[in-house]
Amino acid sequence: MFCPHKNSYLQLVCAMNPRTINKAVDRAMRKTHIDSHTEDPAAQRLDSMQPSLYAPHVDITRARLGFGRVGLRLINRDLHSPDHLKQLQALHSILDQVQISENAMFLINLQVVYRLIDLMHNRNPIIREKVCLTLTHLATYYQGRQRIMSRITIVRNLMLLIMRDRKEIRYAAAYTLRTLARDRCACEFILKDPEVVENLLKMIKHDHVGIVLLHLRTFENLTEWDPVRPLKANAFQVMLTLFNDADPRIVSHAMNCMAQLCKHEVGRTLADEYDLNFVLRRFLTHVSTEVIISAVNLMAFTTITTRSKWRVKEWTVDMTKRLLLLCHTHNKPLLQLKCFQVLLNLCDAPDVRNHLKKYWEKNIEQIHIRTHEEWDGTTETTSYGLETGHNYRTMCIEDVETIKNDYGDNPYVVNVHSYLRRVQEKKRQLLRAINWKPYK
């Protein structure tokens, strides 16, 4: 049977119509308003409550059953039913029920993860896609990730779907892998697969834009955990070719991956060989703010070596002028922090330090750093609907530095006061470095 209010199949049988019970309760409580759920026919409800996509073979006028823990046990059991239609209906119901945290935790305790992993090789593409979507929701819970990571075959199954299946299933599998890679412990688990890095690099070069963005986010988290394997797989050259992509989102994420590679000594050596700072010059004037932030973040790692500092001396005037102009964007504290760090790295070169001391010292002192009342605690650069102010509440936007403490199991918390104190301290370090004189 099917419940139209939850857009899910139900497996229990009820002797009495629940609408009759609802009418009796309303009469006993002497309610004057009319509940559209209890009226006949059953489809008389508000348009906003109507599910946009019904499950297959559904007649919404014949829904009579209620949901409960017993029903969850039965649909979990029906995942391996020999009846193909009943199996598809059970999977559709589980995908809907995992949206509710209480039911998701109950299904995790019922070992639903193991049943879903067994269905990843099903011949029906609809089942494969819905399995990936359900695992993605379960992976947002700590208990769900623990159950998923207990099966090493999950990574191999996801990689087979990512490399060989149709694009809709490739997107769903890439989203599941990216959700798992957000956890540092899961990164170690994923890297146990000997070919995961090489396969991701292959698909990054030859796939659709949306799937490539998911792969780049996954690759960034894996590279942060272990940069050696990506460097051995020529990830530096692959990311360098993505700098010329037409989509600014791909360019930004490729730079973030490159920044993780340049944290390693070999990555910084390759950056000097390919003269990466010269390549990044044109991105400092890019139209996209995200690309500028990613480029400056990458330069914070590529300007550490002595060879890079000597190379930057050839265009000291243009480089310092552009970086100081970006330092005055006080509405982007993250951009200010990275620009200060790049200038601080360049101050190790005496010529750059003397140039800043002679022409730009007063300008640096006048750089405005916003107060905590002027900042909402997020580095989101788009004009999305944020709730700002002293209550420090923001909407749950993915991959945004927020100070909301209840977003997921591992939120990326930003303390406004300490963050701005860090920006101010970086500014003082830059002024101290400009006035620093070597021993004679």
Render pLDDT for 275-305 as a digit per residue (tens, 0 to 9): 898 888 889 888 888 899 999 999 999 999 8
108 close to 144: Cβ distance less than 8 angstroms: yes
For residue 185, pLDDT beyond 60: yes
For residue 380, pLDDT beyond 70: no
For residue 132, pLDDT beyond 60: yes
Amino acid at 393: R
Question: Residue 270: what pLDDT?
Answer: 92
Among 69, 92, 63, CA closest to 3: 63
Model pTM?
0.75
Say which range, 249-258, 323-332, 431-440, has the weakest mean pLDDT. 431-440
For residue 135, pLDDT beyond 90: yes
Question: Residue 410: what pLDDT?
Answer: 47
Q: Which two tokens stand for residue 142?
A: 């700590």
- Average pLDDT, integer, range 135-145: 90
Amino acid at 127: I
191 close to 225: Cβ distance less than 8 angstroms: yes
For residue 217, pLDDT beyond 80: yes
Angle in degrees, CA 26, 29, 31, rounded to 5: 60
Instruction: Identify the band that residue 388 occupies on the pLDDT scale cut at 50, 70 and 90.
Output: very low
Q: Which two tokens stand for residue 94?
A: 């589980």
Give 413's strand partners.
402
Question: Residue 391: what pLDDT?
Answer: 33
Rounded Cα–Cα distance for residues 398 and 235 (Å)? 26
Question: Residue 9: what pLDDT?
Answer: 52
233 close to 201: Cβ distance less than 8 angstroms: yes
Q: Which two tokens stand for residue 383?
A: 């004009």
232 close to 270: Cβ distance less than 8 angstroms: no
Query: In percent, how much of the chain has pLDDT > 70?
Result: 77
Among 82, 95, 167, 81, CA closest to 130: 95
Rounded Cα–Cα distance for residues 304 and 133 (Å)? 42
Strand, coil or helix: 150: coil
For residue 227, pLDDT beyond 70: yes
Rounded Cα–Cα distance for residues 161 and 122 (Å)? 11
Rounded Cα–Cα distance for residues 8 and 122 (Å)? 21
Rounded Cα–Cα distance for residues 311 and 277 (Å)? 8
Strand, coil or helix: 386: coil
Rounded Cα–Cα distance for residues 159 and 195 (Å)? 9
Question: Residue 392: what pLDDT?
Answer: 37
Radius of gyration of the chain (CA): 27
Strand, coil or helix: 258: helix
For residue 431, pLDDT beyond 70: yes
Terminal alpha carbon distance of the chain? 87
Rounded Cα–Cα distance for residues 116 and 145 (Å)? 13
Q: Which two tokens stand for residue 381?
A: 């650069």
Question: Residue 34: what pLDDT?
Answer: 60
- Phi, psi (rounded to 5 degrees) for 85: -65, -45
CB-based contacts of 385, cutoff 8 Å, min separation 6: 395
The CATH number that domain 68-223 falls under is 1.25.10.10
Sketch the domain layout of the chain as residue ranges.
68-223, 325-334+343-440
Report which of residues 341 and 414 the model is more confident about: 341
Question: Residue 176: what pLDDT?
Answer: 92
- DSSP secondary structure code for residue 2 in this structure: E
